[in-house]
Amino acid sequence: MTELTVFFMIVGMSAIQYFMATRNPFILGVIMPVTFIGVMTWLFITNRIENNIMYIVLLIVGLILLIEEWAKGRKVLRNRRQEEMNKMKKKDL
């Protein structure tokens, strides 16, 4: 498996992670990192990623990206909720 394929896999998982992070249950943000760790470990065990250092670097970078997307998604959800609360408060006044 080429590094480019792994890169696109990380980007795709990052987009899914952001979408899931903007949903109400915060636990949905755990699904993609666990899936990513599983897929990367499977690729390493089946020798599609031959180098130990490359495996570790891709794993760390991927997890950092997924956690960052989760944090961004939660922030957007929080801001959206706050805007709705502000609208409700304006209508009450």
Instruction: Round to whole Å and give the CA distance between 53 and 38.
Output: 17
Instruction: Round to whole Å and give the CA distance between 87 and 89.
Output: 5
> Which pLDDT value is given to residue 1?
60
> Which pLDDT value is given to residue 15?
85
Residues in CB range of 48: below 8 A, 6 or more apart: 1
Tokens of 42: 């499977």
The count of domains in the chain is 1
* pLDDT, tens digit, 9 for 90 and up, residues 16-31: 888 888 888 878 888 8
Q: Residue 59 CB: number of other CB atoms within 10 A?
A: 16
What is the total residue count of the chain?
93
* pLDDT, tens digit, 9 for 90 and up, residues 31-86: 888 988 998 899 899 998 888 999 999 899 888 988 898 899 899 999 999 999 99
